Amino acid sequence: MLSVKNIVKQYATHRALDNVSLEVESGKIFGLLGPNGAGKTSLIRIITQITAPDSGEVIFNGKRLNSDHISQIGYLPEERGLYKKMEIGEQILYLSKLKGLSTAEATKRIKFWFEKLEMKDWWSKKVEDLSKGMQQKVQFVATILHQPELIILDEPFSGFDPVNANIIKNEILELNKQGATFIFSTHRMESVEELCDHIALIHQSKKILDGSVDEIKGTYRNNTYWIEYEGDYNTNSANGIFEVLQTEQVKGKTLIKVQLQPDKTANEVLSLLLPHVSISRLDEVIPTMNDIFIDKVKGQDHE
Amino acid sequence: MNKILLIIRREYLSRVKKKSFIIMTFLTPLLIAGIYGLIGYFTYKGIKDTHDKVAVVNNNKILIEKLVSDKNIKYEYVTQSLEEMKKSFKKGDYDYVLYLPNFTLQAPDSIQLFGAKQAGLSLNRRISGDIEELIRNQKLKESGIAQSDLDKLKTSVDISVKKIAETGQEQDSSAGASTIIAFIAGILMFMFIMLYGIQVMRGVIEEKTSRIIEVMISSVKPFQLMMGKIIGIAMVGLTQFILWIVLTLTISTVAVSFFTNKDDIKKSVAVSQAGQGVAQLSQGTPAASAMQGPMADIQKSLAGLDIAKIVTVFIFFFLGGYLFYSALYAAIGSAVDSETETQQFMMPVMMPLLLGYALSLSVVTNDPYGPIAFWLSMIPFTSPIAMVVRLPYGVPNWELALSMLILVVGFIGTVWVAGRIYRVGILMYGKKTTFKEMFKWFTYKA
């Protein structure tokens, strides 16, 4: 539904985005990752039409991005903010009317969400009287109230306590089920693994990784396993099948990390070991998104 | 367009609903009325109370004529010497002791005035004037002119100032009334532009520091947001201005009718009863009748002024001048992170306004048709103030129209420039902005 094509954004001396292209599919949760200052916010600001790219284009539902699309996009910036002196109900109403909702419809929906997120008597409270976490909730409601097709969340969980973070996560999943597409910008990798279908990694203004979470993890598997066993086995005799990377003794058991030769499988390892020891555990080492992130970013820095 | 209306509405309502706005709006006319009441009261009281008693020690052999007392000053010739007067002064029969030594008419010096308090400038002038007159009369007499001829020399002149309108009709006018209106209009204009311009700046800074700005401009264009704010606050200003006029008129009407009624009753009971308050001005005390001359004059020429025109032009120049300056204030607000950083940018914006204000109230009121007045009322940085100051004296229509046109072009210009700085500035955080940087923002592509 959203294609970002060859975007270049240049600030005076600094190139914030260097020929970045992305494809966000409808109904998916898309993770936009990258270290601080990589260019994520610049890209989001282009998608939300806050700034315009120097070259390249953004296509939204087959059309070049234009001001009609404002009502179809919801944006929760990393730096949250509301009018401090305004009543909360008024505030959300104002923000959603700017997105094109009618007063009646917006009021109805605000009441619905207030009910759902346990904010019932918040309407005439002022923002300055709320805690930071409560303000986040208000801002989240303001972001999604106009039922946008595309919801862009920049670090959505920062500032939430675990209980509220969970509530928001469930709301995101539910909205996603109803068909909303999400773009997530974050560097909290656990939430990426939990939520995202697809990710793109931006580093130093360039996209350096792009693909579905499963695919990426797949390519980062390198045939490494943890094996835990009881008994004695001379690992030197395993040459040709695997190589031991690490050995540990834990409570009378032995834990080894092995890397298999490219054409070998875990079954072969087992058949080699079974006659000698009793095996209590075998795990494939799957890199976490965190590992991939660090690996990729560091790798890039060394080049 | 619909979005701009929503923004205007919010900016307007959020300010008009504030307690401080309501208090300011209703209190100010009362305050103004109160201040005028006090001024009137003290002027009246001042006139009645300046009744200085001056003991005159005359050692002069030539000045035989005596200084003439009147309601403000009383001269009493004493026979004691100056030393004796000084010693007995503390007993307090007199306010001052005037010592006239034996000088020649050609070189009247060493005249001294003693008093427990320092004699004010007006008293000083008054006494020296009286003595000068005495000496002059003496000199005239010595040159052989009779007292009766001297009396005939005195004539009182009252110039009735009339202005010839473009149609050739005569209009009553009074420099006094025009000057009062000009001052009030000039001060009001300066206040309005300053107050509301700074409100625009505060509003922009508030949106920036509370970080709502990013949410806002993902929904509306920066220019819409800026204009919405500027127009919304302009309407707050207009509301306040109109309420002030209405309230002031209401209060003064009520007050006038209240006092006149009271006066009528009083008159029927006891005519010359002294009391306090402004209302006494209209009673038949000598001080009040002295005041009535200029007052009546002013009232007469107030009728000659086209108040409707002045108010309309005032509102036009308020809107124009406000738009011109508030756009600059919006640009400043967008460039900084907090109000404390605004100083270096405020100066260059404030200077022309202050200069216009100062020059308008001095040079322009003295010479409302001169070249300085003309140029001040054309340059859009100063024209809002200078023009409303000139207006009560009468301004040719073509000058008015030209000045309005220049102002409109001017504010379109500042709004355009400010818009270009604003759209970049509002997203910049944590950097200390310089003028160079602002210029760079201005040249950025959209």
Does residue B243 come out as left (phi exceeding 0), alpha (psi in the -120 to 50 range) or beta? Answer: alpha
Closest chain A C-alpha to B223 CA, distance in angstroms: 12
What pLDDT is stored for residue B6 in this prediction?
93
Residue contact A81–B6, C-beta within 8 A: no
> Considering only alpha carbons, which residue of chain B is nearest residue A71?
B219
Asked if A50 reaches chain B (Cβ–Cβ under 8 Å), the answer is yes
Whole-number Å distance between alpha carbons of A131 and A261: 56
R_g (Cα) of chain A, nearest Å: 24
Smallest Cα–Cα separation from B291: which of B69, B44, B14, B81?
B44
| pLDDT reading at B164 higher than 60 | yes
Which chain A residues touch B212 with a CB distance below 8 Å? 81-83
For residue range B132-144, list pLDDT tens digits in order.
Answer: 888 888 888 888 7
Which chain B residues touch A94 with a CB distance below 8 Å? 6, 10
For residue range A90-130, list pLDDT tens digits in order.
Answer: 999 999 999 888 999 999 999 999 998 888 888 888 888 88
Whole-number Å distance between alpha carbons of B193 and B324: 9
| pLDDT reading at B391 higher than 70 | yes
Domains in chain B with CATH codes: 51-144 (3.40.190.10), 177-250+306-443 (no CATH)
Helices (H), B210-340: 213-217, 222-269, 286-304, 307-335
More confident position, B75 or B10 = B10
What pLDDT is stored for residue B342 in this prediction?
85
In chain A, pLDDT over 90 holds for what percent of residues?
Answer: 30
Q: Scanning the structure block, which residue is given the tokens 């322009």?
A: B364
Which chain A residues touch B229 with a CB distance below 8 Å? none
| pLDDT reading at B357 higher than 60 | yes
CA B330-B335-B336 angle, 5° bins: 105
- The end-to-end CA distance of chain B, in Å, is 20
Mean pLDDT of B189-217: 90
Which chain A residues touch B220 with a CB distance below 8 Å? 98
More confident position, A302 or B63 = B63
Option in B210, B219, B220 nearest A81 (CB): B210
What pLDDT is stored for residue B295 in this prediction?
53
Which chain B residues touch A99 with a CB distance below 8 Å? 219
Q: With cut-offs at 50, 70 and 90, classify the pLDDT of residue B122.
A: confident
Lowest mean pLDDT segment, chosen from B128-142, B235-249, B254-268: B254-268
Mean pLDDT of B124-151: 82
- Reported residue count of chain A is 303
Cα-Cα-Cα-Cα dihedral of A160, A162, A165, A169, to 10°? 170
Smallest Cα–Cα separation from A279: which of A251, A250, A254?
A254
Q: Scanning the structure block, which residue is given the tokens 């292209």?
A: A21
One DSSP character per residue, B366-389 reads: H-TTSHHHHHHTTSTTTHHHHHHH
Whole-number Å distance between alpha carbons of A287 and A222: 9
Smallest Cα–Cα separation from A243: which of A267, A228, A259, A265?
A259
What pLDDT is stored for residue B303 in this prediction?
59
Between strands A198-203 and A29-33, the pairing is parallel
Mean pLDDT of B412-418: 92
**Strand residue runs (E) in A134-178:** 150-154
What pLDDT is stored for residue B277 in this prediction?
39
Asked whether A196 and A29 are in contact (CB, 8 A), the reply is: yes
Whole-number Å distance between alpha carbons of B200 and B233: 7
Cα-Cα-Cα-Cα dihedral of A223, A228, A230, A234, to 10°? 30
- The end-to-end CA distance of chain A, in Å, is 34
Asked if A49 reaches chain B (Cβ–Cβ under 8 Å), the answer is yes
Residue contact A79–B3, C-beta within 8 A: no
Give the tokens for residue A289.
């998104």
Whole-number Å distance between alpha carbons of A104 and B166: 58
> Considering only alpha carbons, which residue of chain B is nearest residue A45?
B218
Mean pLDDT of B384-400: 89
Does residue B108 come out as left (phi exceeding 0), alpha (psi in the -120 to 50 range) or beta? Answer: beta
R_g (Cα) of chain B, nearest Å: 30
Closest chain A C-alpha to B411 CA, distance in angstroms: 25
Q: What are phi and psi of A76, to 5 degrees?
A: -110, 100
Residue B174 exposed, middle or buried by CB count within 10 Å (0-12, 13-18, 19+): buried
Which chain B residues touch A51 with a CB distance below 8 Å? 427
Return the top range by mean pLDDT from B121-125, B188-192, B255-259.
B188-192
In tens digits, chain A (303 residues) has pLDDT values of 899 999 998 877 788 898 999 999 999 999 998 888 888 888 998 998 888 888 999 999 989 988 888 889 999 988 888 888 888 999 999 999 998 889 999 999 999 999 988 888 888 888 888 888 888 889 999 999 999 999 999 888 887 888 888 888 899 999 999 999 999 888 777 778 888 899 998 988 888 888 888 888 888 888 888 888 888 877 776 767 888 888 888 888 888 888 888 888 888 888 888 888 888 888 888 888 888 888 888 877 765
Option in B6, B440, B445 nearest A98 (CB): B6
Q: With cut-offs at 50, 70 and 90, classify the pLDDT of residue B36.
A: confident
Lowest mean pLDDT segment, chosen from B281-285, B321-325, B336-340, B417-421: B281-285
Which chain B residues touch A70 with a CB distance below 8 Å? 218-219
More confident position, B383 or B150 = B383
What pLDDT is stored for residue B268 in this prediction?
44
Lowest mean pLDDT segment, chosen from B31-45, B292-306, B380-394: B292-306
Q: With cut-offs at 50, 70 and 90, classify the pLDDT of residue B230.
A: very high
Q: What are phi and psi of B96, to 5 degrees?
A: -140, 160
| pLDDT reading at B47 higher than 70 | no
For residue range B8-22, list pLDDT tens digits in order.
Answer: 999 999 999 888 889
**Strand residue runs (E) in A83-164:** 150-154
Whole-number Å distance between alpha carbons of B332 and B350: 12
Question: What is the number of other CB atoms lying within 10 angstroms of the CB of residue B353?
Answer: 22
Asked if A206 reaches chain B (Cβ–Cβ under 8 Å), the answer is no
| pLDDT reading at B239 higher than 70 | yes
Return the top range by mean pLDDT from A183-187, B50-54, B68-72.
A183-187
Return the top range by mean pLDDT from A6-15, B68-77, B157-166.
A6-15
Q: What are phi and psi of B269, to 5 degrees?
A: -90, -65
Option in B7, B10, B214 nearest A77 (CB): B214
**Strand residue runs (E) in B72-118:** 73-77, 96-100, 112-115
Closest chain A C-alpha to B350 CA, distance in angstroms: 28
Option in A50, A52, A139 nearest B217 (CB): A50
Closest chain B C-alpha to A87 CA, distance in angstroms: 10
Residue contact B14–A86, C-beta within 8 A: yes
Smallest Cα–Cα separation from A127: which of B414, B211, B192?
B211
Q: With cut-offs at 50, 70 and 90, classify the pLDDT of residue B170.
A: low
Question: What is the number of other CB atoms lying within 10 angstroms of the CB of residue B399?
Answer: 16
Give the tokens for residue A295.
């690996």
Lowest mean pLDDT segment, chosen from A271-275, B113-117, B157-161, B375-379: B157-161
Asked if A34 reaches chain B (Cβ–Cβ under 8 Å), the answer is no
Between strands B96-100 and B52-58, the pairing is parallel
Residue contact A80–B216, C-beta within 8 A: no
Between helix A103-116 and helix A88-98 the angle, nearest 10°, is 130
**Which residues are CB-contacts of B216 (< 8 A; sequence separation ≥ 6)?**
A98, B207, B225
**Which residues are CB-contacts of A165 (< 8 A; sequence separation ≥ 6)?**
A157
Q: pTM of the prediction? A: 0.73
C-alpha A251: how far from chain center: 38
Q: Scanning the structure block, which residue is given the tokens 């006149």?
A: B260
What pLDDT is stored for residue B260 in this prediction?
60
C-alpha B48: how far from chain center: 25
Which chain A residues touch B446 with a CB distance below 8 Å? 52
Between strands A55-60 and A2-10, the pairing is antiparallel
